[in-house]
Amino acid sequence: MVALTVALASCLEVAARALAPVPYAPRARDLVLSLLCYGAAAVPACIVAWGGFRWSRLQAAALAGPLGLLVVNLAFSYGTQSKELLCLFALLGVGLGTPAIHRASPRLLGTATAMCLAIVAVAWLLPSHRPASSKPSVLLVMLDTTRADRLSVYGYPRATSPNLAALAQRGVVYRRAISTAPWTVPSHAAIFAGRFPSQVGFDGVTLDGSLGAAGSIAMDLANSGRVTAGVTANPIVSATDGLVVGFGAMWDEWRLTRSMPETVLYRLTDWSQEQTHGDRITALALDWVDRLVSAGQPWLLFLNYMDPHAPYSPPERERQLFSSEEGITSIDDPRAYNAGALPLTAAVRTAISDLYDGELATMDRAVGHLLQQLSRRGYDVDTNLFLIIAGDHGESLGEQGVLGHQLGLPDTVLHVPLLIAGPGVQPAVVDPPVQTVQIRATVRALLGLTDSTTDVAPALPPWGTAPAMLISQHPFPRWYHDELRTWNPHFDSSPWLGDWVAVERDGLKVVFNDRGSGSQYDLRADPHERDPKPVSEGAELVQTYRALPIASMSRRPAVLSEQARSAMRQLGYIQ
């Protein structure tokens, strides 16, 4: 009975997820882990049996443990956040399962398990591809933590992006695209809203809700009759209320693919930083297109791939392709190096660089597979699919003595890839510098939607104009500096204090804060920003920026919600 109950719970979960209106793309590893979790939930039933108890109702209650876990897993994967509700679902599953198991026979449980397997087989074997819409759909792919200069499509000598290079031959490549912010929340908000972080109330941690009032790409396309959805490998995207505005659904990959016990285990151990590889996002995206989009329905699908994000752990295939002579296959937590708790040696920098390249190649392979499979399903950039691929921000790999993207505003963090392809889009390379904040207006222009907003950044060329000045904003991330002090109580925050801004025009870049500190760089002679000049030499650019309406930063007390805190812990930002 124990084995049959465990098998039934496992099969019921697969059947429920395969039929539910939620993307599902299990791997063999996921199915095995699920089976083990249900087996662990049946341990009390084994204890009851081994103890010689003959009270059948007690045995039934113990056997209902896997069914209680089943209900919790389903509720968790469908988006339930509350611990109280999850406990209530567990009790509900046990309460309903106890009388059912008490009355069931081994034959009945076996029959139910076989029926679940049959349902799953039918759901997966029947043709699922539905006719594509002739009205253009939009695929917005965010390459999280991806710097342009490490992609072969931008001239990097290693083959980190052959699929993006092939796509570039069919669309517009922006040689210099600058992010409006150096990390996920403000950069995504700017892209979705077409407005700078200060305009959507970003305070260094979260948004004030004004993004919804300003509209977003998702709202624009929902109003145009398209179904809107997103699948994100970065959990903070779905955990930030302002970023999900306009989307019919925004799913966190972790919740779609991991069980509740696995999540708890990851958060209690050092595994908490395990990142999602791009093949998971691709598989979930294709399942969404196959099962959840009505025949002939145009859509907007947002996908966040975040392979290059720390802790830099590519699959073995890419690890071997890009490994160096040092042979270091993993590194310590980047926070330890930024806090000064560990020395950032040349060997560590080389290892990080190699692992980062491997992650880029892994992501490129997943994106290439996605585009290939979408084409087979009738979605192609030559006919009915507008494709926008952008980086939300880049990554420092030790060039300025730091790792990641929370310290400073160097070009390694701000210069990101940007490619656009679609019906009627002529292949071209755009040389004038542009910004990712222009993507929203560009999507509207591509689809011929009427522009009803007045303070949204203009469309990208050739549909609009390049900005006269490039702007990136970074309100002081106090939470990150507090975290670094847990690694090293003597960490000195003083060089990084204040709200920082990077302004660039005609090859001159000024990085400054609200305390009068900063530097100027001549990117034409010093593209790697190794020769800082006094900020006073960039006084004209600083004054030009400060005269703009967008220069006013939010002064709200920055508070992390529990959901956002959990997502940032999973990302390895905080403990």
> At residue 569, what are phi and psi to the nearest 5 degrees?
-65, -40
**368 in Cβ contact with 168 (< 8 Å):** no
Here the tokens at position 15 are 């059947």
Distance between start and end Cα atoms, the chain? 42
CA atoms of 420 and 537, how far apart (whole Å): 36
**180 in Cβ contact with 435 (< 8 Å):** yes
> What confidence score (pLDDT) does residue 268 get?
54
575 residues of the chain, pLDDT tens digit each:
677 777 777 777 777 777 788 898 887 777 787 778 777 777 666 666 665 555 466 666 666 777 777 788 788 777 776 777 877 877 777 777 676 666 666 676 677 778 777 777 776 666 566 677 778 999 999 999 999 999 999 999 999 999 999 999 999 999 999 999 999 999 999 999 999 999 888 887 777 766 666 789 999 999 999 999 999 999 889 888 888 989 999 998 888 887 767 666 665 555 445 678 899 999 999 999 998 888 889 999 999 999 999 888 899 899 888 887 656 666 768 888 988 999 998 888 988 999 999 999 999 999 999 999 999 999 999 999 999 999 999 999 999 889 998 899 999 999 999 999 999 999 999 999 999 999 999 999 999 998 666 678 999 999 999 999 999 999 888 888 888 898 899 998 888 888 999 999 999 999 999 888 999 999 999 999 999 999 999 999 999 999 998 888 766 655 666 666 666 666 666 66
What pairing do the DSSP bridges indicate for beta strands 500-505 and 470-474?
antiparallel
Supply the pTM of this predicted model: 0.90
**364 in Cβ contact with 116 (< 8 Å):** no
3-class DSSP state for residue 448? coil
- The dihedral built from the CA positions of residue 565, 571, 573 and 575, taken in this order, carries a sign that is positive
Q: Could you tell me which of 331, 329, 249 has the C-alpha nearest to residue 292?
A: 249
Question: CA dihedral in degrees (335, 340, 346, 348; nearest 10)?
Answer: -30
268: number of Cβ within 10 Å: 9
The conformation of residue 425, written as its DSSP 8-state character, comes to: P
> What confidence score (pLDDT) does residue 9 get?
74
CA atoms of 257 and 329, how far apart (whole Å): 26
- Residue 83: exposure state from Cβ atoms within 10 A (0-12, 13-18, ≥19): exposed
3-class DSSP state for residue 501? strand
> What confidence score (pLDDT) does residue 91 get?
77
Domain boundaries, the chain: 2-125, 147-458+560-571, 500-551
Place of tokens 């002739």: 134
CA angle, corner 495, sides to 491 and 500, nearest 5? 125
CA atoms of 457 and 195, how far apart (whole Å): 6
> What confidence score (pLDDT) does residue 566 get?
67
Q: Using a CB cutoff of 8 Å and minimum separation of 24, what contacts does 12-17 make?
A: 12/70, 12/116, 13/70, 13/73, 13/74, 14/116, 14/120, 15/116, 15/119, 15/120, 15/123, 16/74, 17/74, 17/77
> What confidence score (pLDDT) does residue 493 get?
86
**543 in Cβ contact with 512 (< 8 Å):** no
Q: Using a CB cutoff of 8 Å and minimum separation of 24, what contacts does 555-558 make?
A: 555/203, 556/201, 556/203, 556/208, 557/203, 558/203, 558/204, 558/205, 558/206, 558/475, 558/478, 558/479
3-class DSSP state for residue 100? helix
The answer for residues whose C-beta is within 8 angstroms of residue 213's C-beta and 6 or more apart is: none
- CA 316 vs. chain centroid, Å, equals 22
Residue type at 398 in one-letter notation: G
- Residue 557: exposure state from Cβ atoms within 10 A (0-12, 13-18, ≥19): exposed
3-class DSSP state for residue 125? helix
CA atoms of 571 and 404, how far apart (whole Å): 12
Here the tokens at position 135 are 């009205």
3-class DSSP state for residue 500? strand
Here the tokens at position 21 are 């209106």
The CATH number that domain 147-458+560-571 falls under is: 3.40.720.10
CA atoms of 312 and 307, how far apart (whole Å): 7
> What confidence score (pLDDT) does residue 34 get?
78
Residue type at 147 in one-letter notation: R
Q: Could you tell me which of 341, 496, 331 has the C-alpha nearest to residue 397?
A: 331
Q: Could you tell me which of 313, 364, 401 has the C-alpha nearest to residue 158?
A: 364
